[in-house]
Amino acid sequence: MPALTAFGRRWSVGTDDFVFPGLLEIFVRVVWLIAISIVYNYHGSTVWDCNGGGFLKGYYIGLLLLLCICIVLSAVIVFISMKGSITNVGPREKLVLFLYIKIAISVPELIWNILGTYWSFSESKECQRSVVWTARGAVISGWILAVIVIIGVIVVFDPLGKQSRKDCNTTRLQSDPTAQVTDSAMVASRKAWEKRLRFLCCCLICDDQSKDAFKDISKLLTEFFKGPYLVPTDVAAGLILVQNLQESLVGGAQYDKSYATFSPNTHEAISSSSSGLACQNGRPKSNSRPTEPQPWMTMDLITHYMKFALGSYGWPLYVFDNLLTGVCRLCGACRCFACMKASPNIIHDNCCMCNTAAIRKYTELPTEDIEYVNYHNEVYEIPFYIAIDRKYQAVVVSVRGTLSFKDVLTDMTADCDTIEMSSCDRDSKVHKGMLQAAEYIKSKLEENDRLQFAFQKAQGSRLVITGHSLGAGTAALLSILLKPDYPDLICFAFSPPGGLLSYNASVHCKEYVCSVVLGKDIIPRLGLTSMEDLKFKVYRAIRDTNLPKYRILAGGVWQLICGCFDDNSGLSNRMLNGENLIHDSRSMVIRERLEESIQESILKMQQFKDGNTQLYPPGQVLHIQEVDRERRCFETPSYYAEWKEVDEFGTILVGPDMFSDHLPNNVFDALDQLSKKNFTPRKYRTSQNREAITDV
């Protein structure tokens, strides 16, 4: 940090990002050098007497010389890139000079590779085979390396990185740290984000809804990424530092060893493993009272309706969940050429009805109990299906989660909208995109009286709405919309988004909405406030560390691969050690910019709280966690569960599981394990360590 500036523009790479690519290049070129040297020295002078042998010998000599030069240059670049810390850029000031030299060397290297291609494939066919094929291997490797370099340049290219002549003169290596974000820059950034979204949507029909979504999302992304320019590896290093600090402060006290042996049917209180922002604006603090679930919120019922949520994803999830046998299992349930005689109750399924077949496989329902399936998918219009559950006497509406780019646009339309709720004092704020999706599904349910027709076939049934991820948020809002017409309605929201609805609305739907969150799942913790909080923590961690970036990233990869969560002292103990920090004037300015951004994030979080725009997951929340976090790799985890308040999910917990815990098959596996062991979730919790992790 900040970004490298070369050739008059800023690039999405830092001067401390050349360690691992450089080491990899050195390794490849050394192997290459050894192989060429062995072949060259092994054969006598007579081997070059063939037709074209002189050209081939010249190629070998030139290649050896170029390899030696490139290895030395790469070693120097790696050595310089290892110096300093993320904010201490002074020791790396000369790096750009060696990058220019290396780029200059790549020109004769490219020319030599072109000549080598001609000599080895055309002029030296009569030479000894081992010599020719070694040269051809070197040529092919050279072209592969060139393609990799081109791809790397495309990846680190910043479309907003054009620097003015004045900026180029004032700073050759780094982007000007004193530059302020102007209104014109904000407009350019917003347009760039909109172009990126349109590029991702190049194969889709961009209707008016998509265009509106592009504008809303680009505005949100521009506002969020405003501040000091961090390259992606800066963010990755900051997240690793935040994770280590969280683990070191609360890890030991968080997970009591007395739970190393799984204990079902226990009601003892344990320390909360996730926390959030304390209740604000007069809301009661949730850690002062027990959380009482409704009688119908049982593990068996929750697990049962998770199957319906899985079914909504159709054949892609079923095949992913059964990699070896999924296709064969589905083939027996599919109807080939069903599109030639399509059912009016199955909309936009494929020709073999694979999605409907996956619904039957997950739910184990007969075909006649699947009343209506709609896989039509546009922005704010997401797939769902209606089924009759005769086991628990229910009509089920299952809403699909995110499975397409259009679903992502719905997810990211995160502005607040208003929803009217009968028993609330004031209008409640909800996620705009998911509210529009819920209104779309409501209109489809009312169209042709589809729900009433299902209830006629299942007299005495209650309405159950379920979904996962985007489907969970939409299902919860759909429940609010349908509650006046179906008083006994209940909803199961699996891994719902955190920025879904305001606190009063979440409390209002506790009686009929049950949410399920697994482990460190980031989605139920994701909202504008929590994102700003995470950005603040990343900025602070980057500011305070004196570790070089390559050591931080190497430590994070080591933890990810080996699961070494028991000893983070090497990273966390040095994070706040500033005694050895030696910064030049440029580095001090960078740290001042970081400090300004930290204060801006604090101000934004306070504005979110004061403006009462914080959004939460819906209803009663069941939090499933691992019993023993120090398990071995590939060992099946054991779980316990505890009822939590929605305000405990206001802080993003960083870790390798923050994304995998959101996968629907992982959520089902955890629920299935608890259900089979007759586990009764704990009704009480303590507030120990809440403030500690919130302040991390």
Q: For residue 642, give the H/E element and its range.
A: strand 639-644
Sheet containing strand 394-399, edge to edge, reads 346-347, 370-374, 384-389, 394-399, 462-468, 490-494, 513-518, 620-626, 639-644
Catalytic residue among 85, 469, 502, 597: 469
Of 696, 605, 686, which is closest to residue 645 (Cα–Cα)?
686
Alpha helices in 630-687 (DSSP H): 657-660, 664-676
Calculated CA dihedral for residues 558, 561, 565, 566, nearest 10 degrees: -80
Run of H or E including 212: helix 208-224
For residue 331, the Cα-to-chain-centroid distance in whole angstroms is 33
Question: Which helix (H) or strand (E) element contains residue 386?
Answer: strand 384-389
Among candidate residues 87, 1, 205, the one with its CA nearest the CA of residue 545? 87
Q: Is 521 a catalytic residue?
A: yes
Q: Residue written as tokens 């030069």?
A: 69
Decide if 583 contacts 217 (C-beta within 8 A): no
CA distance 483 to 462: 12
Contacts 24+ apart (CB under 8 A), 250-258: 250/689, 250/692, 250/693, 250/696, 251/565, 251/629, 253/688, 253/689, 254/689, 255/627, 255/628, 255/629
What is the DSSP track for 534-573? HHHHHHHHHHH--S-HHHHHHHHHHHHHH---S--HHHHH
Cα(270)–Cα(410) distance, rounded to whole angstroms? 37
Candidate list 176, 369, 521, 544, residue with the active-site label: 521
Report the alpha-carbon distance of residue 459 to residue 45 in Å, rounded: 95
Catalytic site residues? 469, 521
